[in-house]
Amino acid sequence: MSTALVERASTFLAARVSRRSFINRSALAGSAVTVGSGLDLLLRPGTAYGYVCTCGSSACGCGTTCCAGWSEFCCSINGGYNYCPADTVMGGWWKADNSSYCGGPRYYMDCHATCGCTTGCGGGWGFCEPGCDGTTCGCGPQGCNSWVTGCFQFRYGQCNQQISCIGRIVCRVVACVPPWTVDPSCTTTLAKDNHTAEHNEPCWTPAIPAPPPPPPPPCNAPITECKVRSLAAVTTAGGYGMVTSFGKVFSYGTFPAVGDLATTHLNQPIVGIAATPSGKGYWLCAADGGIFTFGDAVFYGSMGGQHLNQPIVGMAATPSGKGYWFVASDGGIFAFGDAAFYGSMGGQHLNQPIVGMAATRSGKGYWLCAADGGIFAFGDAAFYGSMGGQHLNEPIVGMAATSSGKGYWFVAADGGIFAFGDAAFYGSMGGQHLARPMVGLAGDTATGGYWCVASDGGIFAFDAPFLGSPV
Alpha-carbon span 90 to 84, nearest angstrom: 7
Any idea what the Cα angle at residue 417 is, between residues 413 and 422, rounded to 5°?
145
- Digit-by-digit pLDDT tens for the chain (471 residues) are 333 333 333 333 233 333 333 333 333 333 222 222 233 323 333 444 444 555 567 678 888 888 888 999 999 999 899 999 999 999 999 999 999 999 999 999 999 999 999 899 988 899 999 989 999 998 998 888 899 999 999 899 999 999 999 999 999 999 999 999 999 999 999 999 998 899 999 888 888 898 888 877 889 999 999 999 999 999 887 999 999 999 999 999 999 999 999 999 999 999 999 999 999 999 999 999 999 999 999 999 999 999 998 999 999 999 999 999 999 999 999 999 999 999 999 999 998 999 999 999 999 999 999 999 999 999 999 999 999 999 999 999 999 999 999 999 999 999 999 999 999 999 999 999 999 999 999 999 999 999 999 999 999 999 999 999 999
Distance from the Cα of residue 437 to its chain's centroid: 18
Q: What is the pLDDT of residue 67?
A: 87
Provide DSSP, 345-393. -TTS--SS-EEEEEE-TTSSEEEEEETTS-EEEEETPPP----TTS--S
**463 and 452 in contact (C-beta within 8 Å)?**
no
CATH architecture of 228-462: 7 Propeller (2.130)
> Domain segments of the chain: what residues?
1-53, 70-212, 228-462
Phi, psi of 156 (to 5 degrees): -70, -40
Question: Exposed, middle or buried by CB within 10 Å (0-12, 13-18, 19+), for 207?
Answer: exposed
Beta pairing, strands 270-275 & 281-286: antiparallel
In the three-class reduction of DSSP (H, G, I as helix; E, B as strand; rest coil), residue 194 is classed as: helix
Q: Give the global pTM.
A: 0.64
Residue 192 DSSP symbol: B
